[in-house]
């Protein structure tokens, strides 16, 4: 079974209790998933800019308490961004994509641009 990496928007909706896609919730509950340090960084930056309210300022602890495994950022992940085509401009998403490629993981996301890089992306419908 291939390991899954949650896009920041998915882990954010999970933490906020707004992830509405039941199949995704069941998949994550049954087989677990990884969360990248990139997502913590992205949420912290966006919260600081007033763009992303958080349930608490303890993002890492909140994610860990949900039972997710961590995917740390390595220099090889950062370097792999150099090899990515420029379909996606978001630097956080580009690093998540590079991590998924390097670690042979499937990303769970709402963002169809991920499929330009990773054909086996788990693309879920946006919340209503």
Q: Domain spanning 4-123 has what CATH number?
A: 3.40.50.1010
* Predicted confidence (pLDDT) per residue in 16-40, tens digit: 999 999 999 999 999 999 999 999 9
**Sequential DSSP letters for the chain:** ---EEE-HHHHHHHHHT----HHHHHHHHHH--EEEHHHHHHHHHHHHTTS---S-S-HHHHHHHTTPEEE---HHHHHHGGGS-SS---HHHHHHHHHHHHHT-EEEES-GGGGGT-TT-EE-PPP-
* Predicted confidence (pLDDT) per residue in 65-97, tens digit: 999 999 999 999 999 999 999 988 999 999 999
Domain definitions of the chain by residue range:
4-123
The pLDDT value given to residue 50? 96
């Amino acid at each position: 079974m291939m390991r899954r990496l949650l896009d920041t928007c998915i882990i954010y909706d999970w933490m906020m209790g707004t992830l509405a896609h039941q199949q995704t919730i069941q998949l994550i509950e049954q087989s677990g998933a990884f969360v990248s340090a990139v997502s913590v960084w992205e949420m912290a930056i966006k919260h600081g800019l007033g763009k992303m309210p958080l349930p608490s300022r303890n993002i890492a602890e909140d994610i860990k308490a949900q039972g997710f495994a961590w995917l740390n950022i390595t220099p090889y992940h950062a370097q792999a961004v150099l090899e990515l085509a420029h379909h996606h401009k978001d630097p956080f998403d580009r690093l998540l994509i590079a991590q998924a490629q390097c670690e042979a993981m499937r990303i769970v996301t709402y963002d169809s641009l991920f499929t330009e890089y990773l054909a086996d992306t788990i693309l879920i419908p946006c919340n209503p």
